[in-house]
Structures are given as structure tokens and as C-alpha cells.
Amino acid sequence: MTLAPPLARTAPAASASGSPDAEGVWEAPEHYSLAATCFPLQRGDGDPAFARHPAGLWTSFRTPDGPVSLLVTHAGRELRARAWGEGAPSAVASAPALLGLTDAWEAFDADPFHATLPPLVREARRRNPGLRLPATGRVVDALVPTILEQKVTTLEARRAYRYLMRRFGSPAPGAGRIAPAGLVVAPSAAEWLRVPSWEWHRAGVGPQRSATVMRALQSASALERLAAKSAADAAAALQSIPGIGVWTAAEVTQRTHADPDSISVGDYHLAKFVGFALTGERTDDSGMIKLLEPWRGQRQRVVRMLYLAGVRAPRFGPRMTVQDHRGH
């Protein structure tokens, strides 16, 4: 695969004419899937930092140089990233990793490793050759919503995240003119730290999770430097913060580092799902780790393929209760 150098142009802000402030074009891998690659980055269909586009997607985020609205489109073998805002050049420079173009599947796909995979994993990979693992390099952006997902349902966590994003985020560059109306840039670390306790309460975020966010973001600059470290080192550093364990660290590095091996140990459903998919029987975290051990180094890829295989594990035990603290 050839990564063409991005076609860059810089300007201080999004222009009324709609011309991007920076642009990059790359050759997409054969059978590349933009939707499958970027799926883990979006926190549900209502994530205010994402919006649909007929040929791709919009997203917005902060860069070291400022906020950006980024439009990514995929047509044939061409991937194009167009960016507006002060952070446009930085966003285009990071786009190949964001789009999974720096993620390599050669070791996974090559024999003899590929031959060791269960048939349903091999078949899922055959049917999904365009999946890549994205790497955003934005630790704070990944960490905050992941903390909100600790020990609650996905529905509850995403509802809280939407509320906080819309309440304390900023309009994306060109929102309503160039970018879709309602596209939002997540709060900066300093802005997250200024969210008052009653707003966390209104969002349905309990004091334990909000305190973990506040504690973690006291060292926001150090957190962002973790993007330059290995996934293992970044995960270890994250787990040194009280309130952040192996599950949270894994969920973060999967998104920030395209970590091909991290497993979300402690997930409410994952161990049961993996056990059923591989053996037909439920298992716990210890059992899941043992089952995935033969593919160490590629275990996250295996898990992604198991999900794409269409396995539907039976429900085990009661469902987690959705709690609503907003009116209390």
C-alpha cells in the first residue's frame, strides 16, 4: 500500500467558501472499509463529535494547534481527508493512523499463524478484509468517555456523554456552514475540570466516575504524552491512576494506539461471549485469557473477528440495571 504525501494548505480558520485549510489524499487498501475501521471511535449514533456524510464521515476534535472539523471520504481506492480550523494541518498529518492505514495485518493473515485460528475467525476475516484498527493518539478524548462507561450500561454512559458534550463542548469549526450543524468539539482537559458537580449529577454520572475523570485530568499533559509510548507502557501508566483499571486502560489503548493485543478484561459481557464463541460454553475473565493465549500479540484482532462472525451468545443472568440519577 502506498501512502501518498498529504496535500496540505494552511490557514487560520475555516473559510466561508468551503475550501479546506488542509487536505490529504491516500491510496486505500484493497477492500478497505471506512465504516468498520472508525466504528470503535464513535460513542453511538448520537455522538456529537461525529456526523454522517454520503461518502464517509465528519468528526471533530482538538489538536495541539487548535480545534478541527475533519471530513473523510472513501471512493474506490482513494481516501481523502479535508480539514477546517486551526488544527487542520495537524489533523491531516495524523489522518493515516486515524484511518488505520498504519495498522498492519500481515502477521495475522500469514501462515502459520492464520492456520491456527478457529474456522469462524478465519471466515470472519475473509468476509471483512477491509477492517483496520484506528489510532487517534488522543488519550484524553478516549479516556473521558471510557471512564463514563465504567460499571454502567452502554445506554446510560452514552446518554451522559451526549449531555456533557452538548453542554460543555464547543461548536466545531464551520459547524452549520461547512460542517454539519451540531458537530461538537469535546471539552479540553481544563474545561472538563471546570464541570461542576451538579452537572455531573444531571448527566447521571455518579461521584466515583466523575472523581476519576477529575483525578486523571489533573495530569492531562502527561496523559497526552502517553500517545508516544508503547501501548503496554501507556496502559501501565493509566492504571497507576486510582480508579483506572485494566478494562479502562485496554479500552483506551485500543483506540489511541490501535493495540492489536489488548483485551477488555472485566467487561460485563466479553468473557461470556468469547467463551461461548470458542467453546459453546460461558467462561470468566481467567478462562477467556486462557482461551485467547494461543494468539497472544493478536488477541484484540481475534476478538474483533469473533464479533464480526455474527456469534450470538445467549443472555446469562440478569441484565445490568439502567440507573437514572438525573432527577435526584
For residue 242, say if its preceding peptide bond is cis, omega within 30 degrees of 0: no
**Spatial distance between the Cα atoms of 249 and 231, rounded to a whole number of angstroms:** 9
Residues 180-211 have pLDDT tens digits of 999 999 999 999 999 999 999 999 999 999 99
C-alpha cell at 37: 475501521
Task: Please report which confidence band the pLDDT of residue 113 belongs to, taking 50, 70 and 90 as the band edges.
Answer: very high
- Non-local CB neighbours of 292 within 8 Å, separated by 6+ positions: 263, 274, 299, 302, 303
Count of CB atoms situated within 10 Å of the CB of 312 = 9
- Non-local CB neighbours of 41 within 8 Å, separated by 6+ positions: 50, 59, 134, 136, 255
Model pTM? 0.91
Q: What percent of the chain has pLDDT over 90?
A: 88
Position of cell 449531555? 163
Closest Cα to residue 108, out of 296, 323, 321, 308?
296
Q: Is the dihedral of CA 277, 279, 281, 287 positive or negative?
A: negative
What DSSP designation does 233 have? H
For the chain, the average pLDDT equals 92
In this structure, which amino acid lies at residue 246?
V
Report yes or no: 191 and 234 within 8 Å, Cβ to Cβ.
no
Strand 78-84 and strand 66-75: pairing? antiparallel
What DSSP designation does 44 have? S
Residues 271-283 have pLDDT tens digits of 999 999 999 999 9
Residues 79-112 have pLDDT tens digits of 999 999 999 999 999 999 999 999 999 999 999 9
Q: Which of 312 and 272 is assigned the larger pLDDT?
A: 272
Strands of 50-53's sheet, edge to edge? 22-27, 78-84, 66-75, 56-63, 50-53
3 state SS of 125: helix
**Spatial distance between the Cα atoms of 47 and 114, rounded to a whole number of angstroms:** 35
- Non-local CB neighbours of 106 within 8 Å, separated by 6+ positions: none
For residue 167, give Cα distances in angstroms to 38, 181, 192: 25, 15, 11
Task: Please report which confidence band the pLDDT of residue 312 belongs to, taking 50, 70 and 90 as the band edges.
Answer: confident
Task: Please report which confidence band the pLDDT of residue 58 belongs to, taking 50, 70 and 90 as the band edges.
Answer: very high
What DSSP designation does 320 have? P
pLDDT score at 149: 97
**Spatial distance between the Cα atoms of 63 and 137, rounded to a whole number of angstroms:** 10
pLDDT score at 311: 87
Position of cell 462472525? 309
Residues forming beta bridges with residue 69, ordered by sequence position:
60, 84
**Spatial distance between the Cα atoms of 164 and 162, rounded to a whole number of angstroms:** 6
Residue 18 has pLDDT above 90, yes or no: no
